[in-house]
Amino acid sequence: MTRNVPILILLSSFFIISGCAAFFAGTGAGVGVYSYVNGELKTSYHAEFDETNRICTDVLNSLEMEITEETSDNIKATIKAKQSDGTPVTIKTVKITPGTTEVSVRSGIVGIWDKKVSELIHASIAQRLQK
């Protein structure tokens, strides 16, 4: 048993450093815990998949972003939009369990991601889901 302790510490450190711990915490905890990896800001919400997608669309419309493409297979969905200056925004949703949906938001182009816009979109989603 004591031989496994260093391995567990090493693995825990790896997950914390790589950001995976934040992702797992976000899955269980819900709103407020985000992971930001490769330009995507992710969190999970305690909300049904269809309701979450509807709210994502509403948020983009309220922020006056033009929706250019929507795809869904009832387990995962992608909404692509453009900001008024043409900068792309992509929202991906994944049904984790009935009543839990993961949402990732990416704004900007590769290498020039805009985390503040992604945070604004998530804050708007969270606010509308609380109503």
d(CA 39, CA 17): 17
pLDDT of 11-64, one tens digit each?
Answer: 444 444 444 433 333 333 344 578 888 889 999 999 999 999 999 999 999 999
Taking domain 5-130, whether its CATH number is 3.30.160.110 is answered by yes
For tokens 């925004």, the residue is 89
Kindly list the distances between the CA atom of residue 14 and the CA atoms of 2, 21, 37, 87, in Å, as whole numbers in the listed order.
Answer: 19, 9, 15, 34
The domain spans of the chain are: 5-130
For position 32, what pLDDT does the model report?
59
Residue 86's region, left for phi above 0, alpha for psi from -120 to 50, else beta, is: left
Q: Could you tell me which residues come within 8 angstroms of residue 37 by beta carbon, excluding any fewer than 6 positions away?
A: 19, 23
